Amino acid sequence: MSGQGRLVAVGACFVAVAVGFGAFGAHALQGRLDAEAMGWWQTAVTYLLPHAVAVVALGLSRRPRLALPAWLMAGGAALFAATLFAMALGAPRWLGAITPLGGAAMMAGWLLLAWRGLREE
């Protein structure tokens, strides 16, 4: 499998996780978690889903120059969402100190994508 194919596979799996976890949160966790924890859960889903779709799109582009931005988005989204999902389910709140690293990686991916897009003109 090519690097671009791996991006498509990772992104597609993340989309499935985001949809599944979104539904799980809305149906199975409603009333079981407090408002703060439900907010973390929803934020995780809200950030994971569009980044996963972006990773799929970048992988489908078959443009090797776009692989690094896509991997930054994928890794960042995974770290960001995983720490929020874990905290919502009762993991230690110190994980919240790691969450911004995922956000920074997502932003770095988007900024690198913008830079590489401008450099192609």
Measured CA to CA in angstroms, residue 94 lies from 12, 58, 68, 113 at distances of 30, 33, 29, 31
Per-residue pLDDT of 31-84, as tens digits, reads: 999 999 999 999 999 999 999 999 999 999 999 999 999 999 999 999 999 999
Predicted local confidence at residue 50, as pLDDT: 98
pTM, 2 dp:
0.94
Predicted local confidence at residue 120, as pLDDT: 81
The domain spans of the chain are: 3-119
Predicted local confidence at residue 121, as pLDDT: 61
Letter string b/e over residues 95-115, b meaning 16 or more CB atoms within 10 A of that residue's CB: eeeebeebeebbebbeebbee
Res. 26: pLDDT tops 80: yes
Predicted local confidence at residue 4, as pLDDT: 86
Res. 1: pLDDT tops 90: no
Per-residue pLDDT of 99-121, as tens digits, reads: 999 999 999 999 999 999 999 86
